[in-house]
Amino acid sequence: MHQEFYNRGLEKARQKDYISAIEEFSSAIRVNPYSSATYVQRGLAYYDSGSLLQSVSDYTEAIRLDSYCVEAYYCRALARLALKNLPSSLADVEKAIRLNPHYAAAYDLRGILRRKEGDIPEAIASFKQAAELYLEQQDKEKCRLCLEKIQKLQSPPKTAPTLVSSIPTPMLSTREYFLQLLNKAELGETQQAISDLDWVLQVDPQDAQAYCCRGVVRYKIGNFLGAIADFNQAIKMNFCEGVVYRNRGRTRLQLGDHQGALNDLNQALELEPGNNLVYIVRGDVYQAIGNYLGAIQDYSQSLQIKSDHPQAYSSRASAYMLLEEIPQAIADYQKAASIYCEKEDWENYQQVLDSLKKIQIAAPETKEQKNQVLHQRLLRLVGGQREIAERMIEQYKEHHPGMSDDWLLQKIIDQLESDRYE
């Protein structure tokens, strides 16, 4: 029965009816779950249908059942290449070559991977080995294609063309896939995003980008320790890109590890000196430790890189407020509000307007409180006689027209206190 399902799956795959092929292979697996060949064939059907992650899962299961399954290693290398996971793809193709040193297609694929890494000498060597093996197997067409690849690498034209790969273009790149998951989290579907990333890592535990992406989502839901664990794992896998250090830095900030956050953000700036977001986060750290001038400098640097970033204006306004530089704070809040309004980001727009209102309300209250304090001082000096105090104020107004009440009150108080000590 297993063989019948398996053969029908092969036939459906030949007809390019991949959905039906997957169903037939799945039926065969239910009858015999220990056939590595069936998992390989279902993986190929998944791959051809564009379901790259499912194909990797099937190839991995085939390898678990048969660690000498050369085809499974080779096919998983193809799928991982399509997913832009070059290190894992190269490891798989090297394993396939060790198991079968005469596997021409594996050398061909290794050449493609080496070329993508920029290691041209190794790429040429791999293509040469593949060409020799294809020639021995009397596959003249594939041998010719390898020789053409070598020629292009040895004598590139002035404007290098894009080398055509024999690997099918994936329906969705890895970067696009992870961006979709992050957008899902931004829309509030954080648990679904986490579930998707858990599944990705179950399929391929060596996917460092998935760890980084899951760390970002965990940060968004407030799981800061889990986020740091994911960023640490990505770094251990040599995914040492600025995005990892920047996000680990902002997570450490949330946990109060200010020095650790600064170390990460400084590392991020070494990797991405032109990334304005790193300056914003480092400015937040400086603000948290009371280095308001350092914070303003970083926010200003961020705006030099990207002059229309509203968060930088809003954060710089907050730092100006802490330095009691109110005009600068108001100007930055107004600029941030204008940008959020243009972007129709109403939530942040309202938050900035609320901050502006607080400044506008606080200023009159401060002035009124100061006026009340001066009135109380004057009353104490005239023995609590309000009529005397009011009469003195009116007299000073006549002699000093146009001056503010606070100025007049201070002038009267100074005169009375001077008279007391003469």
**pLDDT single digits (tens) 15-33:** 989 999 999 999 999 999 9
SS (H, E, C) 19-69: HHHHHHHHHHHHHCCCCHHHHHHHHHHHHHCCCHHHHHHHHHHHHHHCCCC
- The residue that leads in pLDDT, 383 or 319, is 319
Mean pLDDT of 155-160: 42
Within-domain flag for 301: no
pLDDT of residue 100: 94
Structural domain range at position 374 = 368-420
Q: Where does a domain end: 154, 182, 199? A: 154
Mean pLDDT over each residue of the chain, to the nearest integer? 84
Within-domain flag for 277: no
- Identify whether the C-beta of residue 45 lies closer than 8 Å to the C-beta of residue 9: yes
Within-domain flag for 82: yes
Q: Judge whether residue 225 has pLDDT over 60.
A: yes
pLDDT of residue 366: 53
pLDDT of residue 168: 38
Q: Grade residue 162 by pLDDT with cuts at 50, 70 and 90.
A: very low
Q: Grade residue 179 by pLDDT with cuts at 50, 70 and 90.
A: low
Q: Judge whether residue 292 has pLDDT over 50.
A: yes
Q: Grade residue 170 by pLDDT with cuts at 50, 70 and 90.
A: very low
Q: Where does a domain end: 110, 128, 154? A: 154
In degrees and rounded to multiples of 5, residue 378 shows phi and psi of -65, -45
Mean pLDDT: which of 191-200, 256-265, 347-356, 412-421 is highest?
256-265
Within-domain flag for 311: no
pLDDT of residue 176: 59
Within-domain flag for 411: yes
Mean pLDDT: which of 162-166, 225-229, 351-355 is highest?
225-229
pLDDT of residue 166: 37
Q: Judge whether residue 324 has pLDDT over 80.
A: no
User: From CA 10, how far away is CA 223, in angstroms rounded?
Assistant: 46
Within-domain flag for 169: no
**pLDDT single digits (tens) 55-71:** 999 999 999 999 999 99
Within-domain flag for 200: no
Give the total number of structural domains in the chain: 2
Within-domain flag for 271: no
CATH at residue 117: 1.25.40.10
**pLDDT single digits (tens) 99-134:** 999 999 999 999 888 887 778 888 889 988 998 898
Task: Name, in order, each residue with C-beta under 8 angstroms of 412's C-beta and a sequence gap of 6 or more.
Answer: 378, 392, 393, 396
User: From CA 231, how far away is CA 226, in angstroms rounded?
Assistant: 9
Q: Where does a domain end: 154, 181, 211? A: 154
- The residue that leads in pLDDT, 362 or 256, is 256
Mean pLDDT of 226-248: 90
Q: What percent of the chain is modeled with pLDDT above 90?
A: 43
User: From CA 388, how far away is CA 383, in angstroms rounded?
Assistant: 9
**pLDDT single digits (tens) 274-289:** 999 999 999 999 999 8
Q: Which of 10-24, 198-212, 302-316 is predicted least confidently? A: 198-212
**pLDDT single digits (tens) 254-273:** 999 999 999 999 999 999 89
User: Count of alpha carbons within 13 Å of 9, Cβ hemisphere only?
Assistant: 25
